[in-house]
Structure 1
Amino acid sequence: MLIRWQGVALLLLGALSGCGNGNTLESFGGPTMGSTYSIKYVRHAGLAAPDEVRVQVEQILADIDRQMSTYHSDSDIERFNALPANRCQAMPASILELVRVGEQLSVQSDGSYDLTVEPLLNLWGFGPQAREEKVPSAEALAEVRQRVGHQHLRIDGDQLCKDAAVEVDFNSIAAGYAVDTIASKLEAMGIHDYLAEATGELKASGRKADGSPWRIALEEPRDDRQVAERVIVVDGYGLSTSGDYRNYFEQGGQRFSHTFDARSGAPVSHNLASVTVIHPSALMADGLSTLLLILGPERGWDYAEKHDIGAFFVIRADTGFVTRSSHAFERLSGKKTE
């Protein structure tokens, strides 16, 4: 299974019942990627029954797990990760697509975002091969950093190659990719009013059975209870939240989160608690929310404004949390609802 380390901070609001116009809002879900998925769609006359839709969705999720899981030694990516330096392996198109997206985000963040941080996650106690949550020695950190860096990856035709013993981890973009793939399948089946969600990443299109919009609550980044920070309308966009508040450890009075800056090899230390990104692609929303969380409240904000990214920042302050939203977020997120 893929294990999602990002903060899940998106809550669907509104009734899920049918409507008197003959349309019904169908829903189903289950476990995936170490978390859960859920599909809700309006079933018009002639559209597929939930069981048929569910078969298609779960096949997509099973394929992604088989290809990209870092928790199955026989997955495509784990077989690649086990290779020594200067080796290549044929890969499915989906993996090569995500590697290209990862390279794009790495270049745009000056190397802060990187798909090859799995050795760092393991070293600090957050990865699939982790032994203990602790601050590593300088020597151990220096050794592992030699095996981190997107520049060590190369695509040659249908093969993924590496010139160092790097390990690729898709946890920051795989769920977004899954949501986009599911959304494309729903559209191909004639389903245009839906909300597809996997591990908190989602995409919504159209409206519910009663004609009301899909309304999503952005959850306040806290681990004791759920509190809606803001409610937005989503139609035709993907939405992803990354946060550092549900997977961390403390040592010597200092907090260490699972969010890593690949340039330093250490968890980020700023006061940005979570970032929500709205984007036409759930894949890009997923990756960009992680990238902005790594960059922090100042660099992340500048990046979002420069690249016209719809981003909602929740920042820790002495009195609690303060929020800040980019101009693109206000434009793309629909009517604000308090």
Structure 2
Amino acid sequence: MTSVAKRIAFLLSAGLLLAGCGDSLERFGGPTMGSSYSVKYLRSASGPSVEQARNEVEDILAEIDQQMSTYRADSEVERFNALPAGSCMALPASMLELVSFAGELSKDSAGAFDMTVEPLLNLWGFGPQSRGDQVPGAEAIAAAKADVGHQHLSIRGAELCKDAAVQLDFNSIAAGYAVDRVVARLGELGVSSALVEITGELKAIGRKPDGAPWRIAIEAPRDDRQSAQQVIRLDGLGVSTSGDYRNYFVRDGKRYSHTLDPKTGAPISHSLAAVTVVDESALRADGLSTLLMVLGPEEGAAYAERHGIAALFVTREGDGFRSRGSRRFHALFEQEEK
């Protein structure tokens, strides 16, 4: 999947810097989803070889690419997107599960999370069919919004149906889903300690050979350089960061983020620069980081508290940044903060 190369460029470089890998660990990686993936795992006597593990992981990634890439015309999602309003199409159970998951996030957030914003992404120059960065007029935005919204989708048995010319975009959850799939498969192969990163989304299980936990650094949201915002320990947790400081354009002195608010059809304009979510499910963390980024610092923080989400919000204040964690985030990482 050459998908979301722009969003992933942000996540890979901005989100998560890996730290503390022992020499006895097996490791491999490669290109995927327009970016890259990496796997580090502790191999036991009965565990999989690097070749076996790599083959298993890349089979999963190839399957997800075939199903969900918006950058290949023969993918399942692009065949669905090409259908007119009033159409139904049989889709793999995994895709229907993700559509259902996304629908719940959309409902819970009053539409802040939406997998059907591809027409708007293309209009603003951030989508797979875009014609370059541009600031569209109100009429063009209204026309694109007519085909946006989870309410236009319905699952009927093994089919997904649409009553408008909806175009699905799995890019806000595909990488997190892939991480969960890879970690689960490694577990089935006998791996009990691993760190899996796919386009910046990641999850760690078990501990390193020296018994220490996996540690990652959340990067500060800076345009000019990479620096760590906070280092956290992980065991059985996934991490996702979304932000607006890697993928944007400036027109007439105004900054336009790649993160769009489905309600307005325009890029977000609040002070939230980045949000990191930690959850047992990398899929859930992936979706929630986007959702909270759209909601912004006040509404996002309230949503996180209401739903018990471990989230770290970084807002712009003058020439600097201010970070604020939810109660759940502080409870998880209290030791790191002392």
* TM over 0.5, shorter chain: yes
Distance across 2 between alignment mates of 1:118 and 1:238: 26
**Equivalent position SS for 2:171:** coil
- In the TM superposition, what are the counterparts of 1:1-338 in structure 2 within 5 Å? 1=1, 2-4=3-5, 5=7, 7-8=10-11, 9-18=15-24, 25-333=25-333, 335-336=335-336
Question: Which segments of 5 or more consecutive residues in structure 1 lack a partner in the other structure?
Answer: 19-24
**Residues 21 and 208 of structure 2 are in contact (CA less than 8 Å); yes or no, is this contact kept in structure 1?**
no
* Equivalenced residues, count: 332
Letter in 2 for 1:66: Q
User: What CA distance in whole angstroms lies between the structure 2 residues aligned with 1:91 and 1:257?
Assistant: 32
Deviation digits for residues 173-217 of structure 1 (CA, Å, limit 9, x no counterpart): 000000000011011011010011100101101111121110010
Query: Would you say the 8 A contact 1:233–1:335 is kept in 2?
Result: no
**Backbone CA RMSD of aligned residues:** 1.1
The AA in structure 2 aligned to 1:285 is A
How big is each residue's C-alpha offset from its partner over 1:260-302, in whole Å with a ceiling of 9 and x where there is no partner? Answer: 1101101100010100000010000000000000000000000
Change (3 A) 1:155 1:281: same
SS at 2:160's partner residue?
strand
User: Relative to structure 1, is the Cα distance of residues 57 and 321 closer, same or farther in structure 2, using a 3 angstrom cutoff?
Assistant: same
Deviation at 1:319, TM superposition (A): 3.6
Q: Is the 8 A contact 1:232 1:337 kept in 2?
A: no
Given that residues 205 and 234 in structure 1 are in contact (C-alpha distance below 8 angstroms), is that contact kept between their aligned partners in structure 2?
A: yes
- SS in structure 2 of the partner of residue 277 of structure 1: strand
Separation in 1, partners of 2:310, 2:160: 32
- Equivalent pair of 1:239/1:276 in contact (CA under 8 Å): yes
Are the equivalent residues in 2 in contact too, given 1:231–1:337 (CA < 8 A)? Answer: no
CA deviation map 1:103-143 (0-9, x unaligned): 01111111121000000000000000000211101111111
Deviation at 1:334, TM superposition (A): 6.4
Q: Which amino acid aligns with 1:294?
A: V
Name the CA distance, whole Å, in 2 between partners of 1:90 and 1:116: 18
Larger proportion of helix: 2
Q: Is the 8 A contact 1:90 1:160 kept in 2?
A: yes
Match of 2:106, SS? helix
Question: Contact 2:61–2:178 (CA<8 Å) still a contact in 1?
Answer: yes
C-alpha separation in 2, matches of 1:177 and 1:320: 33
Letter in structure 2 aligned against 1:255: R
Q: Which moved more, 1:326-335 or 1:219-228?
A: 326-335
Following the alignment from structure 1 to structure 2, what is the Cα–Cα distance between the partners of residues 283 and 310? 14
Partners of 1:116 and 1:211 lie apart in 2 by 44
Report the alpha carbon displacement of residue 337 of structure 1 after superposing the two structures with TM.
5.9
Q: Normalising to structure 1: TM-score of the pair?
A: 0.96
State the TM-score, normalizing by the size of structure 2. Answer: 0.96
Q: Which runs of 5+ in 2 are unaligned?
A: none
Structure 2: distance between partners of 1:101 and 1:291: 13
TM-fit CA distance, 1:94: 1.1
